[in-house]
Amino acid sequence: MNDGVREDAAMRVSPLHPGGAIHALYMKSADDRADNISYVEAAARLGVSRVTLSRIVNGHAGITTDVALKLEAVGWGTADGWLQMQINYNLAEARKQRQQPKPRVEDMLSELESTAA
């Protein structure tokens, strides 16, 4: 398989945000698995605020090196693994942004003129 084909395939797959993995593996959800914990418990165990954890789990914030080390310290995977997952997610998002067509100046002016009229 050549690198171009592999890159094209990688661009089509959207990797999971690391927060989604934290939620799926460790947080209480509708099924309330006995081994899963609440946001408050998880935040306390990790030494982060509940808001910080919520932002990560909901995909509004990424995994920092500090958080990756905290996840590793509580036995939730390795820091390297969490950071690689975050890098993969960031790279896929950047590729998506580059693929979106850029608006043409003429189209933007036309839209502005039609709104002003």
The larger pLDDT score, comparing residue 102 to residue 68, is at 68
Total number of domains constituting the chain:
1
Q: How confident is the model over 17-59, as pLDDT tens digits?
A: 999 999 999 987 656 666 789 999 999 999 999 999 999 999 9
| Euclidean distance between CA atoms 51 and 58, whole angstroms | 10
**Residue 66 lies in domain:** 3-116
Q: What integer pLDDT is reported at residue 92 of this predicted model?
A: 95
If DSSP codes are grouped into helix, strand and coil, which group holds residue 117?
Answer: coil
CATH of the domain at 33: 1.10.260.40
Which pTM was predicted?
0.72
Q: Identify whether the C-beta of residue 86 lies closer than 8 Å to the C-beta of residue 62.
A: yes
| Euclidean distance between CA atoms 31 and 67, whole angstroms | 26
Per DSSP, the residues of 8-55 read: HHHHHS-PPPHHHHHHHHHB--TT--TT-B-HHHHHHHHTS-HHHHHH
